[in-house]
């Protein structure tokens, strides 16, 4: 017993001895409550130093395999009945961590940002400067809302660009809007009913439901969400994008804005989440004023993201809370850590504060306007004016294409899919389960290759 | 009517005209359904071009103040009854976004990372390389679990450093452990009962409760959480830190590990969350094997973070799910976006993959070991051996100081606070509401200034 073959030791000897004794206890070769040899005796037996045995015993004591009893020596512990622990053969995980990349030749609805877009060199420079000049600040734990310089920069940007006067203390940054929605459900309550636009962005329903809340849908008309429908679904919180609805592109007119604000003001605890995800990309005219800027009653929670305006993988979004809610947030959820890395926060604060963000937006607006025109004239050239109508309002990175056809939306989609082309219909964005044939298809043009578009449109034309 | 003083226009003229008409409609100066002058008439009247009026009218139409009726001209819209919208004077937000920085001279429990720690120059270099060489990858939207190279690097690290064999597809990264706890509640269910260690990290209770779950506490003994107590609180999920409990420093012995694994295996749907937050900082001997490495039944969810090992403001944590749960995560929550920016993910993947992380850990371990010895000898020198006992097990960045005193913990804390010194007692970490006097105080030494420590200890000595 205890004559381990020391020639087999790879690595430190104490570790080899520790492992062998552990294995003997685990397997039951050494039973519980047995007296172990003294350090000196085992050291002599194995031809190692006493300190080696001591190190091995110490580790075994720490992990609970041995106990040292004063003046009596070392004893094995009872590591208990392990028969209850089954050892099934675990299935190899089949989890799919890749976004399902089908072999697509072309997609009419890709929202991938074009690589040429992102101001890599400026970002890298500001990043480097932040890393070299702000060592202390970078290690300082920020409040849950984010560092003040970033919140100040966002407040200034909202003032210049959106005409919104907000206090930096109303601003809360987070690692993406989805994260912020989750925090909002924590803040407002998962026992409330949340209501989203139908048709609309289906993922929102999944997000609210995964947070434990009830999520209903309210119908849209040509002016946006219908207040009657919001009332019918007994919503407490309504989530809308009044500037530029996805996917219809509808801008909510001011009358409907006042109507929905009235709805919120009628009852304590009602709120509107204004999702302003692509307001930067109004391609002509002035920006549409935000709903928040009409909100005298403190009922609008404004949300925006740098995913659309910078890059989807930047993971910085923010919300502007009414003062009352901002205070409640700090009181009830202020213990949470901010989810945005300090490095990114300081870099973005400099990027906005030093004017690069505005320049970037302007550059992108020109780029997108040009791209949009190219895409529109390509559509005209390939499909022929008589075969379609464009439904758009000069905003955002997508528009709708109405096809003059009697074919079902699903048939057109299936036919294109057979040729490796993905296209989404407005009817896909309805959540009431009814089958529709709107003949309206979504064109997300920001990253479209014109030659590939031509080929895809030719396939589409054959389907009309 | 419509004779606006054009000399007052600042900025584009169309915008000035748009704003004046809008203000007139908002104020009721122009009522609903009134016919507007034609573009030409108004242009002549104001002495501007027709195109200027057209731009103003277009913006007003878009925002819903005007309607164009074919062949009839422009009419004002009914913007509705706004009397319901109150205009209260909003209180200026008093939300406290600063971590409450009291004027402290010294804290025995600061967990601020020392600035000298973070490998700024290497990080900056890898960051720069990532930004310049991976433009396309940086804009590619990753799966919710994070980019594969990072998950692979973490899997390799766990294999080398922790002896854990896990598939990268079992690994899920996120913007901090708090975020991952929230996702776990979504995955496992907010209708389950979560159980944490008492004494322990109180914030966990707040986090689980803010996610809508029931959170109970189970008592600790010298071997860690008591399985009987876990059973008594009817827990479904138990959250423990078996390697190095905070704040007691207890390492759970192997017998208790098998006992808690048996508990989990007894019933479908039971899980153990293993919080391995500072396992990298075992200062002598071998690392303690993780509970996960004993987990044959797929019952242990392993959690770790780079907050402790790199910097708290890095915001990258990860969890290792049993294969079954990893699959369920992708199926039910795979629609979520990953919360860690791509730049940070690629930089960290390189940092680990190229060996810098291991070097950093080793360097920090030596630094902390030295710092710990300095702190221990300073305590001995100032307090005198007869007045205290150190409770520790050579691990982590904190230990406990047992004072030989009959004074109440709260009296000692209050006396020190009067002198601007913060100290936390073990009794502060109990959650059952009972008042205890453990005479045990937490010493977090990682960032301690030895001269300041001496002064603080002298104040402490006067209280014994």
Which residue does chain B place closest to A122, by CA atoms?
B131
Whether the predicted pLDDT of A429 surpasses 70: yes
Is the CB of residue A102 less than 8 Å away from at least one CB of chain B?
Answer: no
Is the CB of residue B178 less than 8 Å away from at least one CB of chain A?
Answer: yes
Rounded Cα–Cα distance for residues A318 and A339 (Å):
11
| A137-161: average pLDDT | 93
Distance set, CA A461 to CA A379, A420, A464 (Å)? 10, 15, 5
Q: What is the pLDDT of residue B432?
A: 87
Whether the predicted pLDDT of B332 surpasses 70: yes
Whether the predicted pLDDT of A90 surpasses 70: no
Pair type for strands B214-221 and B73-76: unpaired
pLDDT digits (tens, 9 = 90+) for B221-254: 999 999 999 999 999 999 999 999 999 989 999 9
Within 8 A of A92 by CB-CB distance, chain B residues are: 167, 323
A102 three-class SS: coil
Contact A128 B128 (CB under 8 A): yes
Within 8 A of A131 by CB-CB distance, chain B residues are: 120, 123-124, 127
Rounded Cα–Cα distance for residues B423 and B463 (Å):
13
Percentage of chain A beyond pLDDT 70 is: 93
- B79, A255 in Cβ contact below 8 A? yes
Tell me the shortest Cα–Cα distance from A462 to chain B, in angstroms: 32
Q: Could you count the other beta carbons within 10 Å of the beta carbon of residue A61? A: 17
Q: Could you count the other beta carbons within 10 Å of the beta carbon of residue B362? A: 11
- A56, B267 in Cβ contact below 8 A? no
Tell me the shortest Cα–Cα distance from A318 to chain B, in angstroms: 14
Rounded Cα–Cα distance for residues A321 and A301 (Å):
5
Within 8 A of B148 by CB-CB distance, chain A residues are: 97
* Lowest mean pLDDT segment, chosen from A175-179, A381-385, B256-260, B279-283: B279-283
Q: What is the pLDDT of residue A82?
A: 64
Which residue does chain A place closest to B187, by CA atoms?
A210
* Lowest mean pLDDT segment, chosen from A218-232, A392-406, B96-110: B96-110
Contact A97 B207 (CB under 8 A): no
The string of DSSP letters for A229-272 reads: HHHHTT-SEEEE-SSS-TTT-PPPPHHHHHHHHHHHHHSTT-EE
Tell me the shortest Cα–Cα distance from B417 to chain A, in angstroms: 22
Contact A148 B55 (CB under 8 A): no
Rounded Cα–Cα distance for residues A45 and A3 (Å):
7
**Position B314 confidence tier, pLDDT thresholds 50, 70, 90:** confident
| A279-290: average pLDDT | 80
Site from B152, B168, B279, B313 to mutate, A interface, most A CB atoms within 10 angstroms: B313
Contact B206 A175 (CB under 8 A): no
The separation between the first and the last C-alpha atoms of chain B, rounded to the nearest angstrom, is 86
Q: What is the pLDDT of residue B88?
A: 46
pLDDT digits (tens, 9 = 90+) for B366-412: 888 899 999 999 999 999 999 999 988 777 788 999 999 999 999 99
The string of DSSP letters for A36-100 reads: PPPHHHHHHHHT--HHHHHHHHHHHHHTTSEEEETTTEEEE------TTS----PPPP----S--
Contact B142 A313 (CB under 8 A): yes
Tell me the shortest Cα–Cα distance from B407 to chain A, in angstroms: 31
pLDDT digits (tens, 9 = 90+) for B413-433: 999 999 999 999 999 999 988
Of B85, B135, B256, the CB nearest to A64: B256
Within 8 A of A261 by CB-CB distance, chain B residues are: 85
Q: What is the pLDDT of residue A139?
A: 84
Contact A118 B112 (CB under 8 A): no
Residues 433-462 of B with CB under 8 A from A: none
Whether the predicted pLDDT of A426 surpasses 70: yes
* Contacting residues for B383 by C-beta, under 8 A, at least 6 apart: B457, B460, B461, B464
Q: What is the pLDDT of residue B89?
A: 45
Contact B142 A314 (CB under 8 A): no
Contact A296 B86 (CB under 8 A): yes
pLDDT digits (tens, 9 = 90+) for A240-260: 999 999 999 899 999 999 999
ipTM entry: 0.87
A358-387 burial code (b ≥16 CB/10 A, e <16): eebbeebeeebeebbeebbebbeebbeeeb
pLDDT digits (tens, 9 = 90+) for A289-340: 899 999 989 999 999 999 888 887 889 999 999 999 999 999 999 999 999 9
pLDDT digits (tens, 9 = 90+) for B74-111: 999 988 766 545 444 444 545 556 544 456 789 998 76
Q: What is the mean pLDDT of chain A?
A: 89
**Position A133 confidence tier, pLDDT thresholds 50, 70, 90:** confident
Which residue does chain A place closest to B324, by CA atoms?
A93
* Contacting residues for B233 by C-beta, under 8 A, at least 6 apart: B193, B195, B216, B217, B218
Q: What is the pLDDT of residue A325?
A: 96
φ, ψ of residue A301 to 5 degrees: the values are -105, 115
Peptide bond preceding A199: is omega within 30 degrees of 0, i.e. cis? Answer: yes
Within 8 A of B332 by CB-CB distance, chain A residues are: 210
Within 8 A of B59 by CB-CB distance, chain A residues are: 285-286
**Position A432 confidence tier, pLDDT thresholds 50, 70, 90:** confident
**Position B193 confidence tier, pLDDT thresholds 50, 70, 90:** very high
| Residue with more model confidence, A352 or A91 | A352
Rounded Cα–Cα distance for residues B463 and B458 (Å):
9
Q: What is the mean pLDDT of chain B?
A: 89
Q: How many CB pairs under 8 A join A and B?
A: 329
- B463, B416 in Cβ contact below 8 A? yes
Q: What is the pLDDT of residue B291?
A: 94
Is the CB of residue A127 less than 8 Å away from at least one CB of chain B?
Answer: yes
Which residues are bridge partners to A271 per DSSP?
A: A237
Of B63, B81, B288, the CB nearest to A254: B63
* Lowest mean pLDDT segment, chosen from A24-33, A451-460, B224-233, B397-406: A24-33
| Residue with more model confidence, B138 or A275 | A275
Rounded Cα–Cα distance for residues A236 and A256 (Å):
18
Tell me the shortest Cα–Cα distance from B464 to chain A, in angstroms: 30
Within 8 A of A251 by CB-CB distance, chain B residues are: 62-64
Residues 54-93 of B with CB under 8 A from A: 55, 58-59, 62-65, 77-82, 84-88, 90-93
**Position A423 confidence tier, pLDDT thresholds 50, 70, 90:** very high
Q: What is the pLDDT of residue B353?
A: 94
Distance set, CA A87 to CA A78, A82, A289, B386 (Å)? 21, 10, 62, 51
**Position A89 confidence tier, pLDDT thresholds 50, 70, 90:** very low
Q: What is the pLDDT of residue B311?
A: 81
pLDDT digits (tens, 9 = 90+) for B201-212: 999 999 999 999
Q: The pTM is what?
A: 0.88
φ, ψ of residue A285 to 5 degrees: the values are 70, -170
Site from A33, A85, A151, A393 to mutate, B interface, most B CB atoms within 10 angstroms: A85
| A58-85: average pLDDT | 83
| B298-317: average pLDDT | 90
Would you give the distance in Å from CA B270 to the centre of its chain?
Answer: 25
Tell me the shortest Cα–Cα distance from A406 to chain B, in angstroms: 28
């Amino acid at each position: 017993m205890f004559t381990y073959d020391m020639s087999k030791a790879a690595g430190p000897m104490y570790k080899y001895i520790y492992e062998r004794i552990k294995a003997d206890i685990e397997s039951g070769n050494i039973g519980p409550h047995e007296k172990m040899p003294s350090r000196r005796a085992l050291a002599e037996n194995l031809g190692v130093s006493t300190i080696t045995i001591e190190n091995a015993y110490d580790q075994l004591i720490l992990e609970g395999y041995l106990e040292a009893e004063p003046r009596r020596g070392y004893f094995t512990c009872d590591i208990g009945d392990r028969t209850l622990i089954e050892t099934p053969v675990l299935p190899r995980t089949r989890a799919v961590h890749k976004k399902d990349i089908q072999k697509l030749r072309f997609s009419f609805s890709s929202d991938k940002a074009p690589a040429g877009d992102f101001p890599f060199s400026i970002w890298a420079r500001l990043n480097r400067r932040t890393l070299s000049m702000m060592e202390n600040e970078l290690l300082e734990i920020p409040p849950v809302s984010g560092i003040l310089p970033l919140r100040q920069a966002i407040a200034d940007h909202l003032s210049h660009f959106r005409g919104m006067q907000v206090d930096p203390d109303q601003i809360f940054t987070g690692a993406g809007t989805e994260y912020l929605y989750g925090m909002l459900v924590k803040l407002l309550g998962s026992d409330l009913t949340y209501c989203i636009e139908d048709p609309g962005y289906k993922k929102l329903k999944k997000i609210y439901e995964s947070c434990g809340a009830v999520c209903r849908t309210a119908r849209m008309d040509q002016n946006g969400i219908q207040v009657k429908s919001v009332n019918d679904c007994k919503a407490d919180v309504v989530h809308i994008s009044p500037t530029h609805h996805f996917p219809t592109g509808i801008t909510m007119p001011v009358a409907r804005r006042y109507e929905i604000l009235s709805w919120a003001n009628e009852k304590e605890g009602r709120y509107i989440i204004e999702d302003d995800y692509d307001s930067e990309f109004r391609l002509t005219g002035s920006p549409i004023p935000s709903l928040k800027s009409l909100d005298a009653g403190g009922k609008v929670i404004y949300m925006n993201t740098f995913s659309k305006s910078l890059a989807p993988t930047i993971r910085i979004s923010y919300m502007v809370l009414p003062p009352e809610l901002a205070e409640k947030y700090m009181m009830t959820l202020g213990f949470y850590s901010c989810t945005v890395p300090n490095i990114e926060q300081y870099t973005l604060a400099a990027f906005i504060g030093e004017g690069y963000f505005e320049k970037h937006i302007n550059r992108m607006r020109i780029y997108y306007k040009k791209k949009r025109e190219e895409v529109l004239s390509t559509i005209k050239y390939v499909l022929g004016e008589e075969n379609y109508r464009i439904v758009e309002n000069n905003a955002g990175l997508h528009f709708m294409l109405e096809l003059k056809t009697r074919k079902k939306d699903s048939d057109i989609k299936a036919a294109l899919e057979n040729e490796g082309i993905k296209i989404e219909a407005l009817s896909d964005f309805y959540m009431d389960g009814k089958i529709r044939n709107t003949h309206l298809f979504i064109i997300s043009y920001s990253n479209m290759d014109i030659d590939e578009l031509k080929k895809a449109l030719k396939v589409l034309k054959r389907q009309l």
